[in-house]
Structures are given as C-alpha cells and as structure tokens.
Amino acid sequence: MNQERKRLDPRRPFVLSPAGLRRIILGATGGFDASLLAAPAYKPAPKPLRLKGDPAGYLLVAAHSQRGMLDAHAHQAIAAAALLASPQQAVVVLVFGSLNEDLRAYGADLVAVLPGADELGFAPEQELAWLCEFVTRYAPAHVFMPDNEIGDGDLGRRLAIHLGAEVATHVVELKPGAVAMYWQGGAALARGLMPLVVLIAPDVAETSLPFSGAGETVAPPAAQAPPGRYQNRGLREIAASALALEEADFIVAAGNGVADIPTLEAVAAAFGAAVGASRVAVDEGKFTRDKQIGATGKTVSASTYLAVGISGAVQHLQGIKACRHVIAINSDASAPITKRADLSVVGDAQEVMSALLAELAQRNLPDTARESV
C-alpha cells in the first residue's frame, strides 16, 4: 500500500515571491532547475499602457492634494475614470496642490499640477476658473471628482452650476455610461445616464489596475479670475488632545510595551498629536476605553500613526487601515506591525522615546504662533 502513495517531488519548479517565499508552479512538472534559484526574485512585469495611440477624447479628474499626496478617495476617482475610458480616451488629472507621487499606477495619462492651491486654501472662484479652462481645453466627456469635504465636493458643485450642467453627487455605483446614487437617505437607489459632472462617493472603484497610465506632465491652467467675493482668513487648528481620535491627523499610540505613560504623553504633546492605545494597554487601566484603537475600539484615519510597543495584532491593524504613514517602535524586529509600518525602529520604547524628546527639545519647538481654539 505504501508503494501506491503518490509522492510529491520536493524539487518541483517554483518561483520566489517578492517576500522571498518559494511558490511552486501549479501543474508544472520536471526536475529541479538551478537557473530558477539563481534568477532574481519574482518581479511583476511592467503593466501595459492603457491608452492606445494618440488620444481622441478625454476624461477629466480633478482633486485637491494634501501634503503633496492625493488620498485614496482621489485615487479611486482617477482609477474609475481610467476603467471607464475607451482605449482612445486619455485621462487628464488636474491636481490642486503640490504632488510628490506617481499617478500612473492609477491610470493617469496627463497630469497637471497647481502647487500652492491645496486643500487648505480657499479661492473657489480662482479654482473654478482653472477648472473651467481645463474643461474648455480638453472638452472632456465627463469630469470626475471625489465628493469629499476637502474642497472637491464644493468645487464640483460650483463647476456643475456654473456650466449649467447636469450633476450626479455621492455616486455609489459607476458603470459605462451610467451612475447610481442613494436617495431618501439611503432607502432608494436612483439610476440614470452619466452626466457631465460626476462626484463620486468613497470606494466605488478598485485602484489596483492591470494597466498603467502614460503619466505625462502637461502645463497647468493659467486663467486668472478677477478678485473674488471670498476672503480666506486662514486656518484654525484645534489642539490635538481636544480632538476625537477619529478626527486626529497625528496619533501616538501605546501598547503593552510602554511602561512609562507620562513620557509617551510628552512625546505626543511635542508632536501635537492625539494619544491612542491598544486593547491590552486599555485593559490594564493605563488609558480610558475611548482611547482604544482597533476592531473593538476606534477606527482612525490619521496621516501619521506612531505605534510604540504595539505588536500589531490584526484586530489592532483593522483600526488603522486608513492611516497613511505608520511608524513603529518595537523591541521585536519580527512583530507583525513591522509588516504594516513604513518605518520600524527596533529598540526599547523607553529609550527611543526619551531620545525623541531630547531631539525635539534641541530643535525649534513646534509652531506655537498658530492660532489655537
């Protein structure tokens, strides 16, 4: 009976995944091939260009950047346009604010950047003039914008009303030529033909695409609006400690590896950050329940998340999915948080925190001149 058992060949052909793991090639047979081992790790082939030849038409996407980056919602708007465009239609992206990232992966073919017009400014008439110039220059079949609160929802509505065009807002479903959105506070779904201006809700499109955009830089619009009726009097920032965690932009979070809470709070104060905690730290009574981040706590969307002495259990990582930059301080180089973090520092939490405080004390202190509420 033993002779009957089918044996697996331990030297079946395989490739190395980017993580350095062996992945067998299903269905392939044959002996061990030394050339495969020597071959560099598996690299995905460069994605093909979506646009074929010279563009015969355009789709326009406009969005505000934050700190030189577009957010996931804006990426989805670009990807949606790329997925809906015909092979001859180019996707033009107009970015209000500076841009330090590559939008080709999301399917952007032509990119124009207006540095100095980011989400913190408020000049609706000037921005409308720029956007209208692009609408005239490219005569896009549709204009896609994320329906958000950092200025795109506002600008999109202004554009539609200015052009007297039909507009669909809070669009939750996109299909070629058609859109759907909720009415009656979510009880009804309204469908119709895709209008000129489409303001999309978050998560309507997949952003990992099988193709890439051309990513050419084009000249930004130069229109100059006459002095407007709106006067921007600047920003007011609320002290991070007074802010609900969900709204905070910088969070310093403590886990089981933090013994000295006052030091952690000092670090948070030095960065002007809000304080969060893992469940273990909360259960130990070091923090109140409203500080807990994770599956059974709060879901946060800070740009910066500094995780101190947190192992990075899935239940915790669930709560920080939307965080853009995760930095971990952990004594264990193989803790799961290092897979999620953009920068992991291996070391004792107490030592690194004290060093951080010393460094921060040396440099100029954060801008306290800012108006605070």
Q: Does 346 contact other proteins by CB under 8 A?
A: yes
Minimum CB separation from ligand FAD for residue 355, in Å? 13
CA distance 292 to 25: 43
Q: Does 315 contact ligand FAD by CB under 6 A?
A: yes
Binding residue for ligand FAD, selected from 50, 286, 316, 340, defined by CB under 6 A: 316
Coil vs helix vs strand at 97: strand
CA distance 274 to 320: 14
Torsion angle defined by CA atoms of residues 81, 86, 88 and 92, in that order, rounded to the nearest 10 degrees: -10
CA dihedral (180, 181, 186, 189) positive or negative:
negative
Residue 269, exposed/middle/buried by CB under 10 A (0-12, 13-18, 19+)?
Answer: middle
Binding residue for other proteins, selected from 6, 231, 288, 369, defined by CB under 8 A: 231
Binding residue for ligand FAD, selected from 256, 299, 303, 354, defined by CB under 6 A: 256
Minimum CB separation from other proteins for residue 217, in Å? 21
Coil vs helix vs strand at 88: coil
Q: Does 330 contact ligand FAD by CB under 6 A?
A: yes
Element (H, E) at 327: strand 325-330
Q: Does 192 contact other proteins by CB under 8 A?
A: yes
Q: Which does 18 bind (CB under 5 to 8 A by kind): other proteins, ligand FAD, none?
A: other proteins
> According to CB under 8 A, which residues from 106 to 145 bind other proteins?
119-120, 122
| Per-residue tokens: 72 | 């996931």
The stretch among 52-60, 275-283, 288-296, 344-352 that binds other proteins (CB under 8 A) is: 344-352
| Phi-psi region at 133: left, alpha or beta (left = phi > 0; alpha = psi -120 to 50) | alpha
Q: Does 89 contact ligand FAD by CB under 6 A?
A: no
Q: Does 149 contact other proteins by CB under 8 A?
A: yes
Query: Which residues contribute to the site for ligand FAD (CB under 6 A)?
Result: 255-257, 278-281, 292-297, 309-311, 313, 315-316, 319, 329-332, 335, 348-349
